Structure 1
């Protein structure tokens, strides 16, 4: 398999984590996708032909997927704030699932399977333009997501105090838009932040977990596996850990 990421620059970084490319060869592959606190727009090509355009919801539990041989993915990994301002909708209705989109969505059907860089360049330009025409963006939301994704704040109370937004209002916003609470979002992002350490062989908890038992319990809750099993990553089962090798 081949995997690569391209991260955006400038203000778009508030909405997009990265563009990513994935390719299988002549072997079918099975992966388990782990919760990471993002959602994805994915275009799938099989044998050079576009076969699917889909939007994933937020994953709160591991998802097993089977990827056929000779498959390519062009994809965009979005931060949660993008659903409101770029897609202008909610995403709670597809929590832990996906929805298929028309091939013509964002003119994705015009790209050939060997034009990932063109896809990134043109989608980036289009998103930059659309963001400039957005209604005023709530600065509290920008600050909230920046704080969480960058691990600057670790609890609901800290975030509420930092962004001057009551925890009750924040949770109402999260439930309405995403179908999860802020606390669960924090837990998922915290779990995602451990994947690199686990991939590198560090199976001990950091200061974000009370002790080893709490660490193992939380990792198992969101990944379905212990840190030891994640580290072994047999047959590249866990894609998010494989790309860190």
Structure 2
């Protein structure tokens, strides 16, 4: 399999984590997708033909997937702020699931399976244009997601105090738009931040966890397995921990 990412520049970084490409060869593969605090738009090509366009919800538990041979994915990994300001909808209705989109969505049908760079460049330019015409954004939300994704502030109470937005109002916003509480989202992002360390063999908790039992419990809660099993990553089961070319 092959995997690569292209990261956005400038203000778009508030909405998009990366554009990513994935390819299987002549063998079907199975992966387990782990919760990471993002959602994705994915265009799937089988044998060079576009066969599916879908939007994922937020994953709060591991998801087993089977990917056919000779398959390519063009995808965009979005930060949660994109739901409100780019998609202008909620995503709670597809929590831990996906919804199909028309091939015409964002003119995805025009791209050939060997045009990932063109896809990333043109969609990036279109998104940059669309956010320039947004109405005045809520600065509290920009700060909130910056704190969360950068792991600068760890608790709901701290975030609430920093951005002058009550915890109750923040959680109502999260439940309405995303279907989860901010506390659970913080836990998912914290868990995701450990994947690289675990893949490199560090099975000891960082300062974000009380102790080793708490670390193991939280990792198992969101991945279904222990840190040791994640590190072993047999047959590249866990895509986020795989060492890909």
Match in the other structure for 1:68: 68
Residues 101-159 of structure 1: CA deviation (Å, up to 9, x unaligned): 00000000000000000000100000000000111110000000000000000000110
Q: Which residue of structure 2 lines up, in the alignment, with residue 17 of structure 1?
A: 17
* Structure 2: tracts of 5 or more residues without a match: none
Q: Is the 8 A contact 1:20 1:74 kept in 2?
A: yes
RMSD of aligned residue pairs (Cα, Å): 0.8
The separation in 2 between residues aligned to 1:153 and 1:82, in whole angstroms, is 21
1:8 paired with 2:8, answer: yes
2:53–2:103 CA contact under 8 A, matched in 1 = yes
How far apart are the structure 1 equivalents of 2:161 and 2:192? 24
**TM-score, structure 2 length as denominator?**
0.99
Query: 2:2·2:244 contact (CA, 8 Å) conserved in 1?
Result: no
Partners of 2:66 and 2:187 in 1: CA distance: 27
Task: Tell me which residue corresponds to 1:218.
Answer: 218
Q: Secondary structure at the match of 2:87?
A: coil
Does structure 2 conserve the Cα–Cα contact (< 8 Å) formed by 1:199 and 1:244? no
Q: How do 1:36-75 residues align onto structure 2 when only pairs under 5 Å count? A: 36-75=36-75
Mapping 1:51-200, distance limit 5 Å: 51-200=51-200
Please give the secondary structure, in 2, of the residue aligned with 1:75.
strand
Task: Tell me the alpha carbon deviations over residues 87-106 of structure 1, each in whole angstroms, 9 at most, x when there is no partner.
Answer: 00000000000000000000
Could you tell me how far 1:80 is from its partner in structure 2? 0.2
Q: How far, CA to CA, are the matches of 2:92 and 2:15 in structure 1? A: 18
Instruction: Spell out the pairing of 1:195-206 with structure 2 (5 A cutoff).
Output: 195-206=195-206
* Mapped pair 1:27 → 2:32: no
Kindly provide the CA deviation profile for residues 195-230 of structure 1, in whole angstroms up to 9, marking residues without a partner as x.
Answer: 000000000000000000000000000000100000
The equivalent of 2:209 in structure 1 is 209
Output the CA distance in 1 between the equivalents of 2:148 and 2:132: 24
Native 8 Å contact 2:53 2:102 kept in 1? yes
Tell whether the 8 Å contact from 1:86 to 1:130 is kept in structure 2 after alignment: yes
Return 5+ residue gaps in structure 1 as ranges.
none
| Deviation at residue 244 of structure 1 after TM alignment | 7.1
Moved over 3 A (4+): none
CA distance in 1, matches of 2:135, 2:225: 43
Partners in 2 of 1:162 and 1:147 — Cα distance? 10
**2:220 is equivalent to residue 241 of structure 1:** no
What is the TM-score of this pair, normalised by structure 1? 0.99
Secondary structure of residue in 2 paired with 1:86: helix
Q: Which residue of 1 aligns with 2:232?
A: 232
Structure 1 counterpart SS, 2:69 = coil
Shift of 1:243: 4.1
CA distance in 1: counterparts of 2:65 and 2:50, whole angstroms:
18
